[in-house]
């Protein structure tokens, strides 16, 4: 008998979503990730939970409706990670005519069950705070509701839920060979140790590595795939209003400028073909300039490449064959050949549904329970989304040493699991050593013990974004602390 029912290679959003779904349906699951969870493309997404207006423009009504239904699901199951926002599109004389934008948003709203989110409306931005940061000529804008998400925490909390339902999650473990007979036999290098495991089915969820892993590790044929790089930039905060701007660029693409942590703005995305190793993806300077120029058409404050504090890039694959870009899953099973699922690309919004459909493909092979993930909250998400501020108030009341922004960050990260991090602490000092103004020894220990954090970047960029502001000396102290987290202090 095989050790596992399903082995998953890759701990990005696609891999962890498969693990969560399959573990909750009763399968014995192992997930193997060579680095950190969400360490590749899944922490470099546009961070949007949306129906995608550009798909609407291409008349993908069914796709938009499906994604908007998933938006509602996310608000229900991850109210701490997913935040409803006002999205504002200033009307630009040289771009799509205002009537077209208005009509598009009308259809967008009509395709959604808005579930408490406001309907689209027209704003006179000469007299509205959202106009303050913009250049003068913009008179009107269209405002609609969509959501932003903490993409890398979504990956980690999905993995946590999978683990709590019995999945084994192995980070720092690389699959170097997989032999296929009526079961899969996988050779892993697991934190320096060679290990062999067996599984009845295998999922290749290795994102930008999908073809490479298929060819060199699994030695199985895959159709031709094209690698695509997506990039974004982080700059110091460009606007005070609490909304996402959606700008129309001269080439017709939509560029998003979102509030990012209290002091920054995230601008993206730019995409193009990629060749090379997905592990060393860097944002070309031409892409940085493209985004700076695109937003400088709109913002009063000119954005230049020297303002960029961080670039964020990821690579994933799409099927190269024309017209197959929506296809994100391949399934292969034959007599005497254990099943192989290949899952790649796709967006964050539909990741839960994609995993549900993928795992369902295995039902002829195993007894398993019905799809369940749309009805179960992620860890810490057991409160209604419109009570997020109440959760922040409760945290401020219970841990009176927290400032309101600190409580907001912690609730957004841990939701109702916050007591597991802060315990009964009455003072900040009781939480141990401080790393910068926010991070404490208690939080670091929690992240190492429960959320698979091993290195400073795992915490400073993926489980939080505190690395954007943390002084170098505190980073160094954190590295020392993480090397020996059990010591006191």
Ligand X SMILES: Cc1cc2nc3c(=O)[nH]c(=O)nc-3n(C[C@H](O)[C@H](O)[C@H](O)COP(=O)(O)OP(=O)(O)OC[C@H]3O[C@@H](n4cnc5c(N)ncnc54)[C@H](O)[C@@H]3O)c2cc1C
Residues in contact with ligand X by CB under 6 A are 9-15, 32-35, 39-42, 45-46, 48, 174-175, 205-209, 213, 217, 228, 230, 271, 314, 316, 318, 344-348
DSSP state at residue 462:
I
Minimum distance from residue 431 beta carbon to ligand X (Å): 30
Full DSSP string of 16-43: HHHHHHHHHTT--EEEEESSSTT-SGGG
CA within 13 Å, CB half, 403: 4
- Looking at the Cβ atoms of 74 and 481, the one nearer to ligand X is 74
Cβ 345 to ligand X shortest distance, Å: 4
Minimum separation from the CB atom of position 206 to ligand X (A)? 4
The least CB distance from residue 455 to ligand X, in Å, is 14
Taking the complex as a whole, the smallest distance from the CB of residue 192 to ligand X amounts, in Å, to 14
Report which residue's Cβ sits closest to ligand X.
Answer: 12
For residue 294, what are the contacts with CB-CB under 8 A and spacing of at least 6? 247, 249, 250, 253, 255, 267
Smaller CB separation from ligand X, 155 or 235: 155
178 closest CA partner among 11, 20, 340, 12:
340
Nearer to ligand X, 41 or 169 (CB): 41
Looking at the Cβ atoms of 9 and 156, the one nearer to ligand X is 9
Cα of first residue to Cα of last residue in the chain, in angstroms, is 47
The torsion angles phi and psi of 296, rounded to 5 degrees, stand at: -70, -15
Interaxial angle between packed helices 388-398 and 404-414, expressed in degrees from 0 to 180 and rounded to the nearest 10:
120
Which residue, 29 or 213, has its beta carbon nearer to ligand X? 213
Smallest separation, CB 239 to ligand X (Å): 22
Structure tokens at 478: 């954190």
Residue with tokens 């099973």: 333
Q: How far apart are CA 82 and CA 47, in angstroms?
A: 9
CA R_g for the chain: 23
d(CA 104, CA 87): 14
Task: Give CA–CA dist 475/436, Å, rounded.
Answer: 8
Looking at the Cβ atoms of 23 and 40, the one nearer to ligand X is 40
Q: Are 382 and 161 in contact (CB under 8 A)?
A: no
Using the minimum distance from each CB to ligand X, give the nearer residue, 24 or 208: 208
Q: Which CB, 205 or 395, lies closer to ligand X?
A: 205
3-state SS assignment for residue 259: strand
Nearest CA among 251, 245, 230, 248 for reference residue 301: 245
Q: How far is the CB of 426 from ligand X (least distance, A)?
A: 39
Best CA proximity match to 284, nearest among 309, 306, 308, 313: 313
- Nearer Cβ to ligand X (313/440): 313
Three-state SS for 170?
strand
Q: How far is the CB of 34 from ligand X (least distance, A)?
A: 4
Shortest reach from residue 158's CB to ligand X, in Å: 10
């Amino acid at each position: 008998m095989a050790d596992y029912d399903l082995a998953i290679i890759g701990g990005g959003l696609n891999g962890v979503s498969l693990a969560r779904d399959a573990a909750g349906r009763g399968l014995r699951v192992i997930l193997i990730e060579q680095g950190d969870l969400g360490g590749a493309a899944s922490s470099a997404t546009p961070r949007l939970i949306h129906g995608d207006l550009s798909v609407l423009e291409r008349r993908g009504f069914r796709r938009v409706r499906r994604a908007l239904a998933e938006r509602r699901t996310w608000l229900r199951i991850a109210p701490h990670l997913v935040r409803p926002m006002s999205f504002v599109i200033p009307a630009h004389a040289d771009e799509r005519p205002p009537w077209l934008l208005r009509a598009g948003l009308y259809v967008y709203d009509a395709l959604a069950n808005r579930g408490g989110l406001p309907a689209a409306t027209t704003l006179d931005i000469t007299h509205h705070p959202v106009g303050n940061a913009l250049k003068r000529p913009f008179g009107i804008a269209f405002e609609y509701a969509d959501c932003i998400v903490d993409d890398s925490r979504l990956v980690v909390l999905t993995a946590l839920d999978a683990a709590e339902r019995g999945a084994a999650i192995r980070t720092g473990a690389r699959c170097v060979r997989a032999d296929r007979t009526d079961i899969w036999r996988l050779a892993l290098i697991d934190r320096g140790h060679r290990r062999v495991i067996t599984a009845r089915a295998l999922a290749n969820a290795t994102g930008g590595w999908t073809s490479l892993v298929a060819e060199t590790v699994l030695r199985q044929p895959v159709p031709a795939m094209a690698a695509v790089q997506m990039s974004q930039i982080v700059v110091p905060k460009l606007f005070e209003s609490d909304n996402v701007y959606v700008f129309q660029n001269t080439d017709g693409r939509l560029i998003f400028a979102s509030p990012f942590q209290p002091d920054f703005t995230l601008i993206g995305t730019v995409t193009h073909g990629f060749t090379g190793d997905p592990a060393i993806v860097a944002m070309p300077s031409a892409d940085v300039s493209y985004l700076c120029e695109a937003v400088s058409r709109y913002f009063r404050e000119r954005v230049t490449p020297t303002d960029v504090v961080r670039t964020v890039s990821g690579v994933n694959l799409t099927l190269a064959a024309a017209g197959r870009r929506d296809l994100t899953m391949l399934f292969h099973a034959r007599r005497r050949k254990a099943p192989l699922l290949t899952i790649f690309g796709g967006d964050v919004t539909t990741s839960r549904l994609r995993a549900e459909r993928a795992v369902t493909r295995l039902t002829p092979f195993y007894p398993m329970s019905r799809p369940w993930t749309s009805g179960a909250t992620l860890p810490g998400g057991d409160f209604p989304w419109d009570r997020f501020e109440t959760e922040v108030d409760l945290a401020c009341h219970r841990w009176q040493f927290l400032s309101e922004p600190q409580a907001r960050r912690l609730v957004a990260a841990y939701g109702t699991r916050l007591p597991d991090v802060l315990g009964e602490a009455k003072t900040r000092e009781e939480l141990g050593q401080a790393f910068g103004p926010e991070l404490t020894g208690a939080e670091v220990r929690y992240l190492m013990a429960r959320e698979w954090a091993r290195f400073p970047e795992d915490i400073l960029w993926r489980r939080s974004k505190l690395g954007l502001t943390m002084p170098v000396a505190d980073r160094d102290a954190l590295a020392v602390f993480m090397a020996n987290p059990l010591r006191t202090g």
